[in-house]
Chain A
Amino acid sequence: MSDLMLEVSDLKASYGQVDVLRGLAIEVKKGEVCVILGANGAGKTTTLRSICNMPIVNCSGNVKFEGVDISDEDTGGIVGMGVAHVPQGRGTFPELSTIENLQLGAYVRTDNEVDDDIDRWFQMFPVLKERKDQAAGSLSGGEQQMLAVSRALMSRPKLLLLDEPSLGLAPLIIEDLFKTFEEINRNEGTTMLIVEQNANLALGIADNAYVLETGTIALSGPAEELKNDPAVQEAYLGA
């Protein structure tokens, strides 16, 4: 049990009358990359939002982070414990400059190595350094996604939640991005839970995967296994 980073069980959520999640259970091991696949409306984004206890969702269930129950913690507290969330549509601060966005990523940190970390992510994404003092809203989609990811990593998270990082990006940029995720996972040991529609790429870097259908887990297992599963191939890989 001790090697579990995140343990979600019996997660239920609804928007008004509509049930979105009906008793979901997910486990993410320390250090792995875990992927949740699913079609539109399957409840992927809601899952991530419920884990972080974001507002609007009317949810119940047990969420344990490193064995500690966080289902009643508020978002700020959860972030402080080491969970970072890159929301769908990036969620940067458009009026603030790139460097301020990164500083905000380290908001929960109290140490004084923030500037070193900023330099590190600037090395990883040199284009961000070029646009250091530019308002984040003026960056291109790919640059904003890089900014969002590095901002999330600025909090030195143990667990990184990524919500559809490929949305609205060109295929080449997506591939680069996923390579970077793999690198970060390998070098930093950051656990990742990625929600994705682009099953091919996601399964390529994942250790484990879940397939979400209308609010329940339809399939789960090691990524390699799912890749070869005929049902997954037909539904998500277009084979």
Chain B
Amino acid sequence: MTTFLQRIIDGFQNGAIYSVVAIPMVLIFKATTLINFAQGELAMIGAFFGFIFATQVFGLNVWLAAIIAMALAAALGMGIERSLLRPFDPTDHLPVVLITLGIFYIINAVGGDIWNYQAQINPPNLLHEMPDLGFWDIGVWMQDQTILFTSDTNPLGLRIQHDSIGLILSLLIMLGALYMILEKTKMGLAFRAVSSNTESSRLVGIRVGRILSFGWALACAFGALGAILVAPRITLQPNMMAPILIYALAAAAFGGLDNVYGAALGGFVVGLINSVVLGYISDVRWLRARLDSIGIEDAEFVEGLGSLTAAPLIPPVILLLTVLWFRPTGLFGTKTIARV
């Protein structure tokens, strides 16, 4: 039971990391109906912007650095959309997929050339710089590396770190902010209108080009903030987002490419599946006991399943194939109707 809960919590934490890439991806899909394979790298470069402003060049306040990083990432995203992607017809998938792959390569390479593919020490940690509320100094609480519940205070013996909680909570808060922007502001309404029907959006007086730029800017800013938040967890280095990209793709497709909240859910589901399924399978003793109890005593097989930890991408791919088989546009995606 304890292990189970522990894995659930680990899963949530990984899910938060995946959502950081998956949610902007969906935002960009909603704006320009394309998959941005460069999303992970855009988030990475955003995290590096924050790092530069917070430690290397200016030594700014971490929060200020994060805001500047968000602004720079947003500008970068707008520039990419305007110059490289707008000239293309988004319904022809191959060219735009290739362009985003090219951007992925270039950003990764530039980052690699500058920062040498090495992990940077002490990336800025927003959670540790949270304000003091008087009754509760959040920043200090987050810095507290002790385990949240020790075996004294909780009989289950869960090991939860303070900033894991912080990470999951801040992602939820970011999601809430995104909800407010998309559902409660005029700009958000216009964004949803453009993604629903571009032609009619023009007819109600929406400047569609500006809204596309807004979508990319929003996505990249969100990605940058998310990346700054998760960077202390997964080390800040130019390849930090490359392994996450695949999980994020799975998460985005799971929830449906045009549903932001579906992507967040998808992130958590992929994270949970990985930590729970892989956790149990690789736990050879546990697995052997289970198999013994149903009459299978095959040591080879147990060992083989255990080696699945070396292949952590397989469960999300199987999940993705299963979900898309039954719902070809993801769990919450809008169904498209083909016209002749």
CB pair B205–A107 under 8 Å, yes or no, is: yes
CB pair A107–B199 under 8 Å, yes or no, is: no
- Is B307 an interface residue, CB under 8 A from the partner? no
- Is A151 an interface residue, CB under 8 A from the partner? yes
- Is A76 an interface residue, CB under 8 A from the partner? yes
- Is A96 an interface residue, CB under 8 A from the partner? yes
- Is B93 an interface residue, CB under 8 A from the partner? no
CB pair B197–A91 under 8 Å, yes or no, is: yes
CB distance from B291 to the nearest CB of A (A): 48
Given the known A-B contacts A54-B202, A79-B203, are A94 and B197 also in contact in the complex, defined by CB atoms under 8 Å?
yes
- Is B207 an interface residue, CB under 8 A from the partner? yes
Contacts of A84 in B (CB 8 A): 203
User: What are 26 A-B pairs with beta-carbon distances under 8 A?
Assistant: A52-B203, A55-B202, A74-B207, A75-B202, A76-B208, A79-B202, A79-B203, A79-B205, A84-B203, A87-B199, A91-B199, A91-B203, A92-B197, A92-B200, A93-B200, A95-B195, A95-B334, A96-B196, A103-B189, A104-B189, A104-B201, A104-B204, A107-B189, A107-B204, A107-B206, A151-B204
Contacts of B196 in A (CB 8 A): 93-96
CB pair B203–A75 under 8 Å, yes or no, is: yes
CB pair B202–A104 under 8 Å, yes or no, is: no
Measured CA separation A104–B192 after assembly (Å): 10
Measured CA separation A42–B197 after assembly (Å): 26
Measured CA separation A108–B201 after assembly (Å): 11
Most B C-beta atoms less than 10 A away, residue of A55, A93, A100:
A93
Contacts of B199 in A (CB 8 A): 54, 87, 91
Contact with B along A69-97 (1 / 0, CB 8 A): 00000111001100011010001111110
Measured CA separation A26–B202 after assembly (Å): 24
CB pair A107–B190 under 8 Å, yes or no, is: yes
- Is A105 an interface residue, CB under 8 A from the partner? yes
State which residues 27-69 of A face B: CB under 8 Å: 52, 54-55
Which one, A76, A92, A94, contacts B205 given CB within 8 A?
Answer: A76
State which residues 293-329 of B face A: CB under 8 Å: none
- Is A197 an interface residue, CB under 8 A from the partner? no
Which one, B195, B197, B200, B202, contacts A76 given CB within 8 A?
Answer: B202
Contacts of A92 in B (CB 8 A): 197, 200
Contacts of A104 in B (CB 8 A): 189-190, 193, 201, 204, 206
Across the interface, name the chain A residue whose C-beta is closest to B208: A76
Measured CA separation A6–B199 after assembly (Å): 23
Measured CA separation A95–B194 after assembly (Å): 11
Contacts of B204 in A (CB 8 A): 79, 104-105, 107-108, 151, 155
Which one, B189, B201, B202, B207, contacts A100 given CB within 8 A?
Answer: B189
Measured CA separation A113–B68 after assembly (Å): 37
Across the interface, name the chain B residue whose C-beta is closest to A81: B205
List the 3 shortest-distance A-B pairs measured between CB atoms, nearest first.
Answer: A79-B205, A108-B205, A91-B200
CB distance from A135 to the nearest CB of B (A): 10
Measured CA separation A152–B204 after assembly (Å): 7
Most A C-beta atoms less than 10 A away, residue of B190, B199, B200, B206:
B200
State which residues 135-155 of A face B: CB under 8 Å: 151-152, 155
CB distance from A77 to the nearest CB of B (A): 8
Measured CA separation A52–B196 after assembly (Å): 20
Contacts of A55 in B (CB 8 A): 202
CB distance from B191 to the nearest CB of A (A): 11
Across the interface, name the chain B residue whose C-beta is closest to A77: B205
Contacts of A107 in B (CB 8 A): 186, 189-190, 193, 204-206
Contacts of A76 in B (CB 8 A): 202, 205-208
Measured CA separation A87–B203 after assembly (Å): 8
State which residues 144-195 of B face A: CB under 8 Å: 186, 189-190, 192-193, 195
Contact with B along A181-208 (1 / 0, CB 8 A): 0000000000000000000000000000
Measured CA separation A55–B202 after assembly (Å): 10
Across the interface, name the chain B residue whose C-beta is closest to A93: B196
Contacts of B186 in A (CB 8 A): 107
Across the interface, name the chain B residue whose C-beta is closest to A94: B196
CB distance from B100 to the nearest CB of A (A): 24
Contacts of B202 in A (CB 8 A): 54-55, 75-76, 79
Task: Give 10 A-B pairs besides A52-B203, A152-B203 with Cβ atoms closer than 8 angstroms.
Answer: A54-B203, A76-B208, A87-B199, A87-B200, A91-B200, A92-B200, A93-B193, A93-B197, A107-B205, A155-B205
Measured CA separation A178–B6 after assembly (Å): 66
CB pair A85–B189 under 8 Å, yes or no, is: no
Contact with A along B238-253 (1 / 0, CB 8 A): 0000000000000000
Across the interface, name the chain A residue whose C-beta is closest to B202: A75
Measured CA separation A62–B300 after assembly (Å): 81
Contacts of A103 in B (CB 8 A): 189
CB distance from B208 to the nearest CB of A (A): 8
Measured CA separation A105–B190 after assembly (Å): 10
CB distance from B261 to the nearest CB of A (A): 14
